[in-house]
Amino acid sequence: MEMSEQTSDSPSRVKVTVRGKDGNKITTVVATPGQGPDRPQEISYTDTKVIGNGSFGVVYQARLVDTQELVAIKRVLQDKRFKNRELQIMRRLDHCNVVKLKYFFYTSGEKKDEVFLNLVLEFIPETVYRVARHYSKQKQTIPAPLIKLYMYQLFRSLAYIHSLGICHRDIKPQNLLLDPETGVLKLCDFGSAKHLVKGEPNVSYICSRYYRAPELIFDVWSAGCVLAELLLGQPIFPGDSGVDQLVEIIKVIGTPSKEQIREMNRNYTEFKFPQIKAHPWQKVFRARTSPEAIDLVSRLLEYTPSARITPLQACAHAFFDELRDPNTRLPNGRELPPLFNFTEHELKIQPSLNSIIIPSHIRNTNASGSQASASMSASTSSTDMSANAATTSISNVTAAGTTAASTFNSQEVNTSGDTASCTNVVSAPSASNA
């Protein structure tokens, strides 16, 4: 058995590696849970292998020894002068369409004073990018029902993070994780994300070019680019540079007016754009593309940020009505994943949309559940009243000299609704329609 140990002044950086009987390396570290109080605990993982890397760092797949659960471990170099923004943001997030941070810990690097932050995330096997590429190789696009399923969950995740004042700033197919069996989509990679503060400047180049909004308010525009790409089978604005990007946008949407330019970026009001008429959206997409899909794209890819629909308005769009049909199933015959398990927090984002985003069959089910709970509560009250009356009667008899022994156990009935799978969160200022 081999054992090596790396320690530093922080307990969360302790790392022990052991070679087990089967020859697999087991790594034990002291990690802090992603949510809740800071209570470091030992976790062990094995079967580690690299599944991704880039300028940000390296991503490993591993298996937790205790639960046998697969996880992804994102390892990034930590600048000790600053708090890690991705960690701070991810610790705030708890939503069924956002990848969950399970633990985090620190490890020492090979160089002196080099420290790495390790984010232990739930492992989701696929991405929208790989699924789209699979269909593209067969000269096909993703089937429309799946596009609806994926985009709906993306918009729901955006509605949630925007309600917390968080902008993702790197929405693209590669950052949309998929479970192909259940159809669940989860937004990942918050390395570029930021808690937007009014009046604070934001870096313009951070978003991947194909999905970059012209005025650099990213998320809804980027989601529109993703939807258009899934419908087309290729990026809608495939520019090679910032200038190329803008030209590609203008070729489709037309030249922005002075007022639109002013709303996007006041610094560009004197810039001379080529005068080009907008290309009709119907001619941008294939003939078989549904009018609802085209309408949604047109409402997302709006020059004027204030004219762009919000993520929750997108969820309420007619393009997603098929998902609200109780008879809709996944291509593999399974039921759709939970799409309408909105938390109290989510229902407060834009209450006027609740009657649309919650389908009638769900509302009716909830209403029936409420009536049943009310009936149970009334029944319990009636039982309690009878018990009280009986107790009074017994007390009177006892006072008269008659011995009576009786025990009444009042059973408390829980009439609260089921806890949603996405934990409620504290309300926070809304972000702009990023």
Distance of alpha carbon 413 from alpha carbon 382, whole angstroms: 13
Contact at 8 Å (CB) between 3 and 27?
no
In degrees, rounded to 5, the angle at the alpha carbon of residue 255 between the alpha carbons of residues 249 and 258 is 125
| Strand spans (E) along 7-148 | 15-19, 25-33, 41-54, 57-64, 70-77, 101-108, 115-122, 126-127
CA-closest candidate to residue 421, choices 346, 324, 323: 346
Q: How far is CA 431 from the centre of its chain?
A: 16
In degrees, rounded to 5, the angle at the alpha carbon of residue 148 between the alpha carbons of residues 95 and 349 is 40
CB neighbours of residue 28 within 10 Å: 18
Q: Based on the residue annotation, tell me whether 79 is a catalytic residue of this protein.
A: no
The answer to whether 251 is a known ligand-binding residue is no
Backbone dihedral region for residue 46 (phi beyond 0: left; psi -120 to 50: alpha; all else: beta): beta
Distance of alpha carbon 122 from alpha carbon 34, whole angstroms: 11
Catalytic choice (66, 79, 113, 170): 170
Distance of alpha carbon 83 from alpha carbon 371, whole angstroms: 49
In degrees, rounded to 5, the angle at the alpha carbon of residue 346 between the alpha carbons of residues 345 and 348 is 70
Bridge partners, 121 (sequence order)? 72, 101
Catalytic residue list: 170
Binding residues: 74
Binding residues for ATP: 74
